[in-house]
Chain A
Amino acid sequence: MNMHTRTASIIPAEKSAAETFLDELFDAGLLIDTGVDGLYGRSGAFEDVINAFNGLVAKYGAADKATAIHFPPGIARRLFEKSGYMKSFPQLAGTVHSFMGGEADHCSLLADLEAGQDWTEQQQATDVVLTPAACYPLYPTVAKRGPLPEQGRLYDLQSYCFRHEPSKDPARMQMFRMREFVRIGSPDQVCAFRESWLDRGQKMMASLLLPLTVDLANDPFFGRAGKMLANNQRDTGLKFELLIPVTSEEKPTACLSFNYHQDHFGSLWNIRSADGEQAHTACVGFGMERVALALFKHHGPDVEGWPTEVRKLLWG
């Protein structure tokens, strides 16, 4: 019996569909409650689905011959500061702090802990910030390599990411995996890449017998300036999402996203094309846990019972 079920038996308040699905996932043992919303353990069966989907993505992307890089789920604070993330999404960022005091400070820290008081005051910012999106460490890495070759570059990234948005919606985790293909090159090159993945992404997800739509979208930019950025993003068609109903039919979950950043990252990090122009970038992102959740939602908690053709695609 988990915490959520107990609460429900005391307070017969209505649960949201998202919360009910989260309970089902806990009950099936697919996700493991840690006591923090959005921070869950994953079962072996859940991870099998993620691995199998990773394999399918690799097949669909194989012909592109992307360069794979796996960064850890932390980014250098200096690079994070330059990235401008705090301008747009200060509410989502997570910084890593550590104890850096002496013995006396340690004593007072332990006393605070013992007394149940705030012990975090002495924690100081380290040089590490939790990665907010898999591609953030990539741009400065590419910039360091000098001008792009004529055909541009293509990377295959995967990382755990952190976003501070606690929620009972299992499709809105605080720590989750994002796989991304990032194309860097001329405007024509990166737009053609995004177009091809808009097409490939829909074919791939439809082959898993998942109901989907593709729609214009915007990022959750912060504040009034953010309102304007979000409107601009929509007006110029810079972001599309592939949506699948997971916890709601009316508000389906974005499982893949297709983004054109124009020269935003190219200018910020001074990435130059072969002809000396600022490079443009585009990416396709896969929310790995969200895809797994969509599969469990539509095909059931037991993968043995999934449609044969879906099982064949994922596990051969």
Chain B
Amino acid sequence: MDKIRTVLDQFGKLKVPAQSLSPNADLYDAGLTSFASVQLMLGLEDAFDVEFPEHMLNRKTFSSIAAIETSIDEITRAAA
């Protein structure tokens, strides 16, 4: 989760540091915009060396730190 928070700080343009957010906090409420969520998606792909499949390219996938972790776990498991 720390790694996700680092990427969030780098690309999410949030109003608050990602460290202050609980895993289930709504990232859109924390200031994540549509365009920033695209940058976040690309940043996560670089950091975790994964590629989000098309069905995950939506708002829900990036709605919280926990949701992002679940999605990355799912991709990693599918690739294993």
Residues of A within 8 A of B (CB): 84, 224-225, 227-229, 231-233, 235-236, 262-264
Pair B57/A236 contact, Cβ less than 8 Å: no
- Contact indicator A224/B58 (Cβ below 8 Å): no
In the complex, how many residue pairs between chain A and chain B have their CB atoms under 8 Å apart? Answer: 35
Q: How far is the CA of A228 from the CA of B42 in the complex (A)?
A: 11
Report the minimal beta-carbon distance from B48 to chain A, rounded to whole angstroms. Answer: 16
Among B34, B37, B60: residue with most chain A CB under 10 A:
B34
The 8 A-B pairs of least Cβ separation, nearest first, read: A228-B57, A231-B58, A232-B34, A225-B38, A235-B59, A227-B57, A232-B59, A228-B38
Nearest residue, chain A, Cβ from B38: A225
In the complex, the answer to whether B33 meets A228 with C-beta atoms within 8 Å is: no
Contact of B42 among A225, A231, A262, A264 (CB under 8 A): A225
- Is the beta-carbon distance between B35 and A229 smaller than 8 angstroms? yes
- Is B54 part of the contact surface with A, judged by Cβ < 8 Å? yes
Q: Is the CB of A236 within 8 A of B34?
A: yes
Question: In chain B between 19 and 74, which residues have their CB closer than 8 angstroms to a CB of chain A?
Answer: 33-35, 37-38, 41-42, 54, 57-60
Interface of B is mostly: helix
Residue of B nearest to A224 (CB): B57
The minimal Cβ–Cβ distance linking B12 to chain A, given in whole angstroms, is: 14
Residues in B whose Cβ lies below 8 Å from that of A264: 33-35
User: Across the interface, which residues of A come within 8 angstroms of B35, CB to CB?
Assistant: 84, 229, 264
Q: Do B59 and A236 touch across chains, with their CB atoms under 8 A apart?
A: yes
* B31 CB to nearest chain A CB (Å): 11
A42 to B9, CA, bound (A): 53
What residues of chain B lie closer than 8 Å to A84, measured between beta carbons?
Answer: 35
CA distance A235 to B38 in the complex (A): 15
User: A232 touching B41 by the CB < 8 A rule?
Assistant: no
Asked whether A225 lies within 8 Å of B41 as measured between CB atoms, the reply is yes
A235 with B41, Cβ < 8 A, contacts A229-B35, A262-B33 known: no
- Verify B33–A231 contact, CB threshold 8 A: no
Collect the chain B residues with CB atoms within 8 Å of residue A236's CB.
34, 59
Expressed in whole angstroms, the Cα–Cα distance for A100 and B76 within the complex equals: 53
Given contacts A262-B33, A264-B35, contact A232 B58 (CB under 8 A): yes
**B58 — which chain A residues lie within 8 A by C-beta?**
228, 231-232, 235
Q: A228-B58, A264-B34 are in contact. List 15 more A-B contacts (CB 8 A).
A: A84-B35, A224-B57, A225-B38, A225-B42, A227-B57, A228-B37, A228-B38, A228-B57, A231-B57, A231-B58, A233-B34, A236-B59, A262-B33, A262-B34, A264-B35
